[in-house]
Structures are given as C-alpha cells and as structure tokens.
Amino acid sequence: MSVENAPVVDVDEAAIPVEKKMYYRFESNDKKEFRVSELAIQQSETLNRLVEAMGYTSEDVENKPAIAIENIDGKTLKLVFQWCEHHKGEAIPVDDGSVPKIVEIPEFDAKLMDIDNGLLFKLIWAADYLNIVQLLNVSCKKVANMAQGKTPAQLRRVYLLPSDEEDEAAKRAAQEAQDPRAREVEEEFEERKRQGGNSFF
C-alpha cells in the first residue's frame, strides 16, 4: 500500500488550537492512502460531517483503518486534497445566484487543473461528491473557459461528447442489445410501410 503524505504547510499556532492539529487518513478506491489536516477537511462539507460523526481521537486516527472513499481514485483524490490543503481556513463561498458567475481562478488552482480533460471531469465529479464548493466553482469555470469561442463541433471534441446521431445510434444499439426482437419488428414495420400498409393488423 502506498502512502502519499499531504504537502507540509506552516500552521499558525496562535490561530489554531493544539487539539485541532490532527491529520485524518483517507483511502481511495485504488487503495492509495492520504493524510489530510482537519482544517483542510473543513473545505469539504461531506468529509467534515463524516469525521465529526466518527468522533475520532488522535489515537483512533492512527490505530483504526483509513476512512475509505470508494468512488474516487487515488489520482483524483490527490488533487482534491492538495487543493484543500492549499485553501484550508478560507471562507466557503455562498451562491448569490448571479449569472454569469464571476469567478477568478487563482494561480495555484490553474496549475493544479493543468491536467487532461478526463481527469478534470473526474475532479469536478469528486468536488461535487465531496461538496467542496469553491473547488467545484473554479473547476467548472475552467471547463467553461474551454468553451469560449468554440463552435458546437469543436465543443464536442473538447468535451468528448457524442453528436446527436451518435447518441441516438448508441441508444438504439443499447436497446437492441436488451431486446433483439425490437430490430426485427422495426424492419418488418418498415417493410410493410413500403408496401403501402400502415398497420400490422
């Protein structure tokens, strides 16, 4: 089992009580382990509630198994925790309902998200799953920036989206795989239509 330590950060002793300096252990679905400070965890509403409910002491953290996050792989979780450590202690933004959203991507975040699109989408998924509001905001902004000035065809390439035709073909294929008789019925119907009849009956 590989262990990846969270980045070492300076902690303001005066601002943070001694008992808060606790590092929790988390494990991704591919068995990679991470240590994350309690303050960084506060950026994630989901994890924050989870550790509060568990009520672990420092001994529990070391002696009990790492908390498993089964839906997220190690590569993605590393990015998530790096982001949380960098932004720990920052206020969690509140949605003011404005459209379009005004979000600036900080330099650190821009570097962190300088990754392939597939991993970026996974990061967004993780930020949503772990309820990390600001990470979700900046990552969505990053994806939105990718759309600027693109045609629909270019957007499909950027977002790796199927076209309507491909989408329909995929759905049809899935339907046929589920019910092989469907195709036969459709062909029979088309044949009858060609012959002038509108109904099977």
Per rule CB under 8 A, is residue 121 in the interface with other proteins?
yes
HSE-up (13 A, CA, CB side) for residue 82? 14
With b for 16 or more beta-carbon neighbours within 10 A and e for fewer, the 53-78 pattern comes to: eeebeeeebeeeebbebeebbbebbb
Instruction: Verify binding: residue 128, other proteins, rule CB under 8 A.
Output: yes
Choice from 118, 194, 198, 201 touching other proteins (CB under 8 A): 118
Q: Tell which positions 25-84 bind other proteins, by CB under 8 A.
A: none
Q: Which amino acid is at 98?
A: S
Whether omega for the bond prior to residue 100 falls within 30 degrees of 0, making it cis, is yes
144 is a contact residue toward other proteins (CB under 8 A)? yes
Distance CA 51, CA 38 (A): 9
According to the binding rule CB under 8 A, does residue 92 interact with other proteins?
A: no
Q: Residue 124 interacts with other proteins (CB under 8 A)? A: yes
**Listed residue (111, 30, 140) closest to 76, CA to CA:** 30
Q: How far is the CB of 103 from other proteins (least distance, A)?
A: 7
Q: How far is the CB of 121 from other proteins (least distance, A)?
A: 5
Least Å distance, CB 169 to other proteins, is 13
Stretch that binds other proteins, among 11-19, 39-47, 153-161, 180-188 (CB under 8 A): 153-161
100 binds other proteins (CB under 8 A): yes
Q: Which residue has the tokens 């509060």?
A: 52
Residue with the two structure tokens 């300096």: 21
Residues 48/56, Cβ–Cβ less than 8 Å:
no
Minimum distance, C-beta of residue 2 to other proteins, in the bound complex (Å): 23
Binding site for other proteins (CB under 8 A): 99-101, 103, 117-119, 121-122, 124-125, 128, 136-137, 140-141, 143-145, 147-152, 155-156, 159-164, 167
